[in-house]
């Protein structure tokens, strides 16, 4: 049987992994479909110890999945209105916390 949605245990495990990203800045976001978004996060200092900029792609699909990825997907040529609004309010903001509210799949 194929897994279709994340359950509360999946969300709790992913929250634990995503806590490593706290302090990174959101440099941009892209829409892959009306329910799938990719957030590009960068290290707040801009570079790693080796001199390279640390970039993490966080993929979110509403109600289905939430995880980091190294695979760069094709983005739409023109962003949706919702994506433009996200960019306006979230771009350059720092990720301050990642947590699960109770046992909700938020």
Token pair recorded at residue 33 = 């479909």
Q: With beta carbons less than 8 A apart as the criterion, state whether 18 and 98 touch.
A: yes
Q: Which of 15-19, 30-34, 45-49 has the lowest mean pLDDT?
A: 45-49
Higher pLDDT, 38 or 106: 38
Domain boundaries, the chain: 8-90
Per-residue pLDDT tens over the stretch 47-100: 666 666 689 999 999 888 999 998 888 887 899 999 999 999 999 999 999 998
Q: Which residues pair with 61 in a beta bridge?
A: 36, 65
Task: Report whether pLDDT(46) > 60.
Answer: no
Task: Report whether pLDDT(32) > 60.
Answer: yes
Token pair recorded at residue 37 = 């978004």
Round to whole Å and give the CA distance between 56 and 68.
7
What is the value of pTM for the model shown? 0.84
């Amino acid at each position: 049987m194929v897994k279709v949605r994340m359950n509360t245990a999946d969300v709790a495990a992913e929250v634990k992994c995503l806590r490593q990203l706290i302090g990174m800045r959101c440099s941009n976001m892209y829409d892959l479909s009306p329910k799938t978004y990719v957030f590009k996060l960068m290290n707040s200092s801009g570079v790693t110890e080796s001199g390279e900029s640390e970039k993490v792609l966080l993929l979110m699909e509403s109600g289905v999945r939430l995880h980091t990825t190294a695979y760069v997907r094709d983005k739409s040529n023109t962003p949706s209105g919702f994506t433009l609004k996200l960019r306006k309010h979230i771009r350059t903001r720092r990720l301050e916390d990642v947590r699960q509210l109770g046992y909700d799949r938020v």
